[in-house]
Structures are given as C-alpha cells and as structure tokens.
Amino acid sequence: MKRCSRCKIEKPLSEFSPSVQQRLVGGYCRKCAAAQNRVWHRSRCEYVHARNRWYRDRRNGRRGERERAAADSANKAAFREHIRNGGTLLDGLKLLQLGPVQMALAEIVVKSGGSASLDEILNGLYGDQPNPDDRGRCIKALKLVTFKLRRKFENTGFAFVRPGYAMGWEIVAEGDAR
C-alpha cells in the first residue's frame, strides 16, 4: 500500500505507474497522473503542436531527400542511355542537371580533350589568372565543386578524377579511372 501525493488516498502498488527515477513506483496514482498530464497538455497546447510540426517537417525533409536521390538516379540512367546511343559527352552533361559552376567546369574539361590543367580550369572559371592572394581561395572553392561533381558522375560509366597533385582533372570512362 502507498499513499498518493496528490489525492492523499492510500492505494495498492498496482494503482501506481513505474517511476522513471530510482524509486519503484511514482508518487501519483495512475488517475491523478493522467489528470495532471491532461492539464499540462492543455496549458502547453501551442508548444506541443509546434514540437509535433517540427518533427513532421523533419520527417518530410528526409522524404524530399529520397525524392531527390530518385531523380538523380533517373538523370544518371538517362545520361548512360544517351552515351550508349552514341550521344556526345558534352550534350549528355545537361542530362545530369549540374549546377552552373559544375557545368562550366565539366565543359572546360570536355572541351580541352577530357583533361584540363589547373591553370586552364582557373582561367576558364575566373577569367584571367587570379592574383596570388585569391588563387588559394579559388582552389579551395574548386575542390568543393569537384567533390560535388564527382558525386554527380558516380554510377554513370564515367569518373571525374585528378591524375596527380596540382595537375588538374580528367573525365575518364570508369574502367580507366585510376
């Protein structure tokens, strides 16, 4: 037997919920705990709805990621089909839905015969050679763009690779990738 802290009635232990803390059972009986929970939820209704909306939006965001991945997969399949039917690599790049800088970088590499040096790429993207102060920043930005571009080329039959340190980039068939 235990006395409820709220209604002050002595009840058997089966009328109490298990405690989260180290005690064996909670301080309130089940009926009093349910009543207190109802009051709390009614008083904090806006908070509870906002929290539920936040979780729902997070879950829907993940669903959006799955849809984007499915669209990417469909784009890659269309690219592979284009190449298989004898289409040019330059025309096929449009099917991958690259961003503007990714597209410019890929076009520079393709137009220079499948391999472009770092200086060719920097000249193509930034006009004249950037001054020495900006060159490091441009190379860091270029690394980010190439990282994303490598992801776009995965499972397409081609790879966007770097033949060596500070040697530029190449687009090669996946069997030839280093």
Q: Is 102 found in the same domain as 39?
A: no
Q: Is 105 found in the same domain as 28?
A: no
Residue 114 φ/ψ region, left for φ over 0, alpha for ψ in the -120 to 50 degree band, beta for the rest: left
The helix or strand, by DSSP H or E, that contains position 76, with its residue range, turns out to be helix 45-84
Q: Is 166 found in the same domain as 97?
A: yes
Please tell me what DSSP assigns to residue 10.
E
23 versus 37: which is more confidently predicted?
A: 37
Segment 106-128 mean pLDDT = 84
In a domain, 120, yes or no: yes
Give the chain's domain count: 2
Q: Is 156 found in the same domain as 110?
A: yes
> pLDDT class for 10, splitting at 50, 70, 90?
very high
- State the virtual CA torsion across 152, 155, 158, 163 in degrees, nearest 10: 70
Q: Is 92 found in the same domain as 23?
A: no
Q: Is 166 found in the same domain as 121?
A: yes
Residue 178 has pLDDT above 60, yes or no: no
- CATH code for the domain in which residue 161 is found: 1.10.10.10
Condensed to tens digits (0 to 9), the pLDDT of residues 123-158 reads 888 776 656 677 778 888 888 888 888 888 888 888
18 bridge partner residues: 25
> pLDDT class for 177, splitting at 50, 70, 90?
very low
Residue 117 has pLDDT above 70, yes or no: yes
Q: Is 160 found in the same domain as 78?
A: yes
pLDDT confidence of residue 141: 84
Domain that holds residue 6: 2-43
